[in-house]
C-alpha cells in the first residue's frame, strides 16, 4: 500500500509522548506523531481498558498510514501505599509534633491515622523516614512496633484522606505487581503493546515475576523510582530490556539535589549494557498550561540529550495539557539544536563503551569508525531480534542507523532506540539481495541519494539470529530506486 510521506526525523534521540484526555482525538495523535513523537505511552493508572484499546488502535492506524513502526509502552501503576481516612477528611499536623501511624481503622485526627499496610510495620525502624503527599510532609520514626509507628513531624502540614506514603529507607516486602497490574498487563499483551513499564521495582525478582506473565511477548522496561532499586541497579538492568529514570518518584524519596547525578549514573550504566534508557517526568512541566517552557526546563531536556539518553518523555504535557502539540515540537527542536552542536558527538561518546569480545560487537564498533572516517548517509543493519541494532546504537554513531527486520514486533521495539530508524521488510536470502535491499531502503526512506554511501551490516548465512559477521560499504546509484520500486 502507498504510505503518506514522512521525512526522517533529523535527530537521534526519541520522543515518548503520553496519551490521555488531551490526545483522545485521533487527529491530535496524528499531529503529535507528525510533530515528532516516535513512541506513545499508555498510562494504565488512569482510564478504562476500552479507552486504551481505542488509543492503541488509533496509533496502529497511524503506523499503517505512514509506514513507520511506532512503539507503544503500557505503563503499569504498581502498588500505591496510602494512609487511611480522617474524621473531618483532613487534619493539620504542626511542625515538630508527635504523630502516630497505626493499624486501627478508626478515623484519624491531628495525632494519628491508620496505615493499612501491615508490610510497612514489619520493616520500618527507628530513625527512618515516612513521607506523605509526594514528600510535602516528612515524618521521622521515633519508635516502631508491629501495631504502631510513632513519629516526629519534621515537616508538618495538612494531611488528608488516602494520601500517598513513601518509605524511602526500607525495602518493603510487597510485589511490584498488584491484582490490577496483572489485569492491565494481560490487557496490554492482548493489545500487542511493545513495551511494559514496571513501577515500584525494588529488586531483580520483581522483573522475573512480570516477565513470566508476559509469556515471551513484548519488552520489559524497569522504572527506577526507589532508592532500593538504585542499590541493585546492575542486576535490574541485566534483568530488563530497558530502563526508565522516573525522576518524579526518585525526587520524592531522595533529596532533589541527589537526582541529577543519579540520572547520569543510571543513563551511563544502561547505555554500557546496550539497552535503551528513557529520561522521564516533569521535563517540560510548565507547558501543561503555558505554550512556552522555562529556560530551566529547556536545559533539563538538553542535558538528557547530551547524556546520550535514548528517549525523553512527556507526561501530563501531552496527556492532559493545553499545549500537547507545541510540547512535542519544542522537545524535538531542543533535541535537534543539541545534536547540531559540534561537540555533541564527543559528549555522547565520553562514556566509553568497549566492545565485548564478539564478532557482532567488533563489527558494530567498526560501523561507528567507518561512519567517522568515510562520509556515510546511514548504517543499514539487518537484524532478526533487534540485538545488532542495539549494538550499533550503543556506539552512538554519527549517522542514522536503519534497522531492517522481518519482524514488525522487533521493528516497533527498536523504535525507542537512539538513532534507529526501524523498517519491517521481508528477509533476505543472498549477499546480492542484501546489497540491493540496503540501497533501495535507504533511498525509499530518505537516507541519501545517488552517489551516497552506506555501511551494510548483516550475518551470513542469512535468516539466522545471532550470526552477524559482515560489514560492507556500498555506493547508491540513482536508478536503483525505480528499478526495484515494485519489490519490498
Instruction: Using alpha carbons, select from 46, 37, 70 the residue that is nearest to residue 56.
Output: 70
Confidence of residue 488 (pLDDT cuts 50, 70, 90): very low
Residue-wise pLDDT tens digits, 38-60: 999 999 999 999 999 999 999 99
Active site residue 281: yes
What's residue 35's pLDDT?
Answer: 97
Assess whether pLDDT exceeds 90 at residue 466. Answer: no
Confidence of residue 24 (pLDDT cuts 50, 70, 90): confident
Residue matched to cell numbers 554511501: 453
219 Cβ contact partners less than 8 Å away, ≥ 6 residues apart: 194, 195, 196, 241, 242, 413
Q: Which of 11, 12, 14, 41 is catalytic?
A: 41
Instruction: Using alpha carbons, select from 365, 199, 160 the residue that is nearest to residue 281.
Output: 199
Instruction: Using alpha carbons, select from 43, 35, 23 the residue that is nearest to residue 246.
Output: 43
Residue-wise pLDDT tens digits, 123-175: 999 999 999 999 999 999 999 999 999 999 999 999 999 999 999 999 999 99
336 Cβ contact partners less than 8 Å away, ≥ 6 residues apart: 10, 11
Q: Which of 281, 353, 383, 425 is catalytic?
A: 281
Domain ranges (residues) in the chain: 14-78+176-341, 90-166, 359-483
Q: How far is it, in rounded angstroms, from Cα 31 to Cα 325? A: 7
CATH topology for 14-78+176-341 is TIM Barrel (3.20.20)
Active site residue 98: no
Residue-wise pLDDT tens digits, 294-336: 999 999 999 999 999 999 999 999 999 999 999 999 999 999 9
What's residue 476's pLDDT?
Answer: 86
Active site residue 413: no
Assess whether pLDDT exceeds 80 at residue 372. Answer: yes
What's residue 266's pLDDT?
Answer: 98
Q: What is the mean pLDDT of residues 403-411?
A: 95
CATH topology for 90-166 is M1 Pyruvate Kinase; Domain 3 (2.40.33)
Question: Taking the CA atoms of the chain, what radius of gyration do you get in angstroms?
Answer: 24
Q: Is-contact 281 300, C-beta < 8 A?
A: no
Superfamily of domain 359-483 in CATH is Pyruvate kinase, C-terminal domain (3.40.1380.20)
Q: Which of 31, 54, 60, 82 is catalytic?
A: 82
Active site residue 82: yes
pTM check: above 0.75: yes
Amino acid at each position: 500500500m502507498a504510505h503518506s510521506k514522512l521525512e526522517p526525523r533529523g535527530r537521534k534521540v526519541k520522543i515518548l509522548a503520553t496519551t490521555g484526555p488531551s490526545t483522545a482525538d485521533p487527529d491530535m495523535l496524528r499531529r503529535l506523531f507528525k510533530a515528532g513523537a516516535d513512541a506513545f505511552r499508555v498510562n494504565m493508572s488512569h482510564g478504562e481498558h476500552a479507552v486504551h484499546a481505542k488509543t492503541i488502535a488509533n496509533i496502529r492506524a497511524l503506523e499503517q498510514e505512514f509506514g513507520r513502526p511506532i512503539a507503544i509502552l503500557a505503563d503499569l501503576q504498581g502498588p500505591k501505599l496510602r494512609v487511611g481516612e480522617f474524621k473531618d477528611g483532613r487534619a493539620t499536623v504542626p511542625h515538630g509534633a508527635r504523630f502516630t501511624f497505626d493499624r486501627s481503622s478508626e478515623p484519624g485526627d491531628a495525632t494519628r491515622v491508620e496505615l493499612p499496610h501491615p508490610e510497612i510495620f514489619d520493616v520500618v525502624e527507628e530513625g527512618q523516614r515516612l513521607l506523605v503527599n509526594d514528600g510535602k510532609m516528612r515524618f521521622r520514626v521515633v519508635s516502631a512496633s508491629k501495631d504502631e509507628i510513632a513519629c516526629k513531624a519534621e515537616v508538618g502540614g495538612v494531611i488528608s484522606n488516602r494520601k500517598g506514603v513513601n518509605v524511602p529507607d526500607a525495602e518493603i516486602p510487597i510485589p511490584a505487581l498488584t491484582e490490577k497490574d496483572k489485569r492491565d498487563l494481560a490487557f496490554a499483551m492482548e493489545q500487542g503493546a511493545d513495551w511494559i513499564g514496571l513501577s515500584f521495582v525494588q529488586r531483580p525478582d520483581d522483573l522475573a515475576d512480570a516477565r513470566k506473565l508476559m509469556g515471551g511477548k513484548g519488552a520489559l522496561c524497569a522504572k527506577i523510582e526507589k532508592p532500593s532499586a538504585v542499590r541493585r541497579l546492575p542486576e535490574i538492568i541485566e534483568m530488563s530490556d530497558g530502563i526508565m529514570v522516573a525522576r518524579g518518584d526518585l525526587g520524592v524519596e531522595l533529596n532533589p539535589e541527589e537526582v541529577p547525578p543519579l540520572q547520569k549514573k543510571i543513563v551511563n550504566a544502561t547505555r554500557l549494557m546496550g539497552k535503551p534508557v528513557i529520561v522521564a517526568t516533569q521535563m517540560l512541566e510548565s507547558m501543561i498550561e503555558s505554550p512556552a517552557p522555562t529556560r530551566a526546563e529547556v536545559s533539563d531536556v538538553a542535558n538528557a540529550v547530551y547524556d546520550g539518553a535514548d528517549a525523553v518523555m512527556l507526561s501530563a504535557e501531552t496527556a492532559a495539557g493545553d499545549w500537547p502539540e507545541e510540547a512535542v515540537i519544542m522537545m524535538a527542536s531542543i533535541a535537534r539544536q543539541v545534536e547540531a552542536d559540534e561537540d555533541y558527538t564527543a559528549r555522547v561518546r565520553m562514556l566509553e563503551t568497549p566492545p565485548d569480545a564478539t564478532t557482532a560487537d567488533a563489527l558494530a564498533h567498526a560501523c561507528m569508525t567507518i561512519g567517522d572516517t568515510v562520509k556515510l548517509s546511514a548504517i543499514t543493519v539487518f537484524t532478526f531480534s533487534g540485538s545488532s541494532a542495539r549494538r550499533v546504537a550503543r556506539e552512538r554513531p554519527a549517522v542514522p542507523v536503519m534497522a531492517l527486520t522481518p519482524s514488525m514486533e522487533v521493528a516497533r521495539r527498536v523504535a525507542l532506540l537512539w538513532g534507529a530508524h526501524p523498517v519491517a521488510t521481508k528477509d533476505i536470502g543472498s549477499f546480492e539481495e542484501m546489497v540491493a535491499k540496503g540501497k533501495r531502503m535507504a533511498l525509499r526512506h530518505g537516507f541519501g541519494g545517488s552517489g551516497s554511501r552506506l555501511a551494510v551490516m548483516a550475518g551470513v548465512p542469512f535468516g539466522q539470529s545471532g550470526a552477524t559477521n559482515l560489514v560492507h560499504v556500498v555506493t547508491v546509484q540513482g536508478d536503483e530506486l525505480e528499478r526495484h520500486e515494485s519489490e519490498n
